[in-house]
């Protein structure tokens, strides 16, 4: 072993096991320091000082620090511009290299470039590793050597290339250096307030991820393909926020998905890699359509329509229930994400970027690549997107995926007494029926903000010139 000191910079990988950068540092250096930065470049841009994600990160760091301390180490936690704080810390510790796991977002790549540039004059190396994806960079390309833009051929190439080495666990054994003794700062120290994580049943950290993972893989993973589209049913893993912040690693999940009889969940994990790849190779998707021609789509300017969508008062129960779920707990079922995204762009005629931005503010599991990919898919502006003429009908989607209205009634309680017959389209009730249950449409619950059939025709005309 080389007698060297190294610094591992934790970012979206808040665990002490199966961690590529930590494993590499422990293999190369005699002493390894661990650090995290509450990056003000990110924090100052958040719309509120009461952000569940910041709270989740802080509590996850407490658990990570405890795990590292149990191994003789500990976290050094800083608050400032990461591009300045990491080089300064590396110099003060006298390390020969900084180790970090790769991030594919344009701003993160720019930040890492700054860090590498600041370390170079001091003779400190900056090493990055693949950790949040199974494949990245140019590992999965078309036969012509280009990045894929269609999912199915990408998936086939991904599976063909896969070997056991790609999802093997990274060992993390070796000597860790103690932290600086200051522990993890409280939220108030970095300018934030506590949130309602415990009340909402959100358990941060590796232990929270482990509890959800154990629950999912003991039976539900085998039925994921059958149950995943029904928001009133416990069918999904609920691990998205943990994958986002790396309190659980992707390789462990892929190992289990490969063993499952139903490969639907594996398919979703490959979609995650696919969207990382798209963001990495086509960074113009941030703020622009993947297909440049679609930047010319003329969207409606309707602030009241946007507000109604955001607040869950469109008059379409499944849309309103989904948006109220998002506003309440910072999470939304994936089927509902597709429904509300289609509704915003194709029923309300509003720019998909408005919805993308709102999700970015509200989602606990916000990930730029998946969020952008999902919104562009729904708006038919992205790679391998649904055709522009495929327009979800919010009523039939509701009838199919929440047939008894259980999910709707949970988040739109004013509809609690509406019979199943009308729960998906309560405006179809007669006035006498409405008054009999104390629910008058237009007074106690909104009438539909748009007529779906008319909106559909308008959308077809809007997209017609971009037909391909």
Which residues are part of the catalytic machinery? 268, 271, 299, 334, 352, 375
Edge-to-edge order in the sheet of strand 97-101: 75-80, 31-39, 5-10, 97-101, 125-129
Closest to 393 measured CA to CA, from 468, 446, 331, 338: 338
In this structure, what token pair is assigned to residue 410? 């949970």
Secondary structure (3-state) at 267: helix
DSSP string spanning 273-334? HHHHHHHHH-GGGTTS-SSGGGGG------HHHHHHHHHT-SS-HHHHHHHHHHHHHS---H
In this structure, what token pair is assigned to residue 426? 């309560």
d(CA 254, CA 239): 13
Residue 445, beta-bridge partner list: 441
In this structure, what token pair is assigned to residue 218? 């003991």
| Gyration radius from the chain CA atoms | 24
CA 186, chain centre distance (Å): 25
Secondary structure (3-state) at 6: strand
d(CA 291, CA 276): 17
Query: Any residues with CB less than 8 A from the CB of 268 and at least 6 apart, and which?
Result: none
d(CA 437, CA 208): 42
Q: From residue 200, how far is each of 41, 63, 466 by CA, in Å?
A: 28, 19, 44
In this structure, what token pair is assigned to residue 181? 């003794």
Q: Report the DSSP pairing between strands 31-39 and 5-10.
A: parallel
Helix axes 250-259, 205-217, angle to 10 degrees: 10
Residue at token pair 């509406």: 418
CA 352, chain centre distance (Å): 17
DSSP string spanning 15-68? -SSS-HHHHHHHHH-SEEEEEEEEEHHHHTTSS-S--HHHHHHHHHHHHHHHHH
């Amino acid at each position: 072993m080389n007698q060297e000191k190294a610094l591992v910079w934790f970012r979206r990988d808040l665990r002490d096991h199966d961690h590529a950068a930590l494993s590499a540092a422990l293999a190369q250096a005699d002493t390894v320091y661990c650090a995290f930065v509450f990056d003000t470049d990110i924090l100052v841009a958040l719309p509120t000082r009461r952000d569940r994600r910041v709270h989740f990160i802080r509590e996850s760091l407490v658990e990570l620090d405890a795990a590292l301390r149990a191994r003789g180490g500990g976290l050094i936690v800083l608050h400032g511009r990461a591009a300045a704080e990491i080089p300064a810390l590396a110099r003060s510790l006298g390390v020969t290299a900084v180790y970090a796991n790769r991030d594919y977002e344009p701003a993160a790549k720019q930040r890492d470039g700054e860090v590498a540039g600041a370390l170079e004059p001091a003779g400190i190396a900056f090493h990055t590793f693949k950790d949040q994806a199974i494949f990245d960079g140019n590992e999965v390309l078309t036969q012509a050597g280009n990045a894929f833009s269609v999912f199915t051929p990408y998936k086939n190439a991904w599976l063909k290339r896969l070997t056991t080495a790609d999802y093997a666990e990274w060992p993390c054994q070796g000597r860790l250096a103690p932290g600086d003794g200051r522990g993890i700062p409280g939220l108030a120290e970095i300018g934030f307030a506590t949130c309602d994580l415990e009340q909402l049943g959100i358990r941060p950290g590796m232990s929270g991820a482990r509890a959800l993972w154990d629950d999912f893989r003991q039976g539900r993973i085998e039925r994921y393909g059958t149950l995943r589209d029904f928001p009133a049913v416990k069918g999904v893993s609920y691990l998205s926020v943990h994958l986002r912040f790396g309190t659980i690693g992707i390789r462990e999940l892929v190992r289990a998905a490969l063993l499952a009889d139903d490969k639907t969940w594996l398919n979703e994990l490959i979609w995650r890699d696919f969207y990382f790849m798209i963001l990495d190779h086509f960074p113009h998707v941030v703020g622009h359509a993947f297909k440049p021609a679609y930047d010319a789509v003329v969207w409606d300017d309707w602030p009241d329509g946007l507000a109604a969508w955001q607040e869950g008062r469109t008059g379409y129960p499944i849309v309103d229930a989904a948006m109220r779920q998002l506003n309440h707990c910072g999470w939304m079922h994936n089927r509902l994400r597709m429904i509300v995204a289609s509704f915003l762009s194709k029923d309300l005629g509003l720019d998909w970027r408005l919805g993308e931005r709102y999700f970015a503010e509200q989602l606990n599991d916000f990930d730029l690549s998946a969020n952008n990919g999902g919104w562009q898919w729904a708006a038919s502006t992205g790679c391998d997107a649904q055709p522009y003429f495929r327009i979800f009908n919010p009523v039939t989607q509701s009838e199919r995926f929440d047939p008894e209205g259980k999910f709707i009634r949970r988040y739109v309680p004013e509809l609690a007494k509406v019979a199943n017959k009308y729960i998906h389209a309560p405006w179809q009730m007669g006035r006498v029926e409405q008054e009999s249950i104390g629910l008058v449409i237009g007074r106690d619950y909104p009438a539909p903000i748009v007529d779906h059939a008319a909106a559909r025709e308008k959308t077809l005309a809007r997209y017609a010139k971009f037909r391909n």
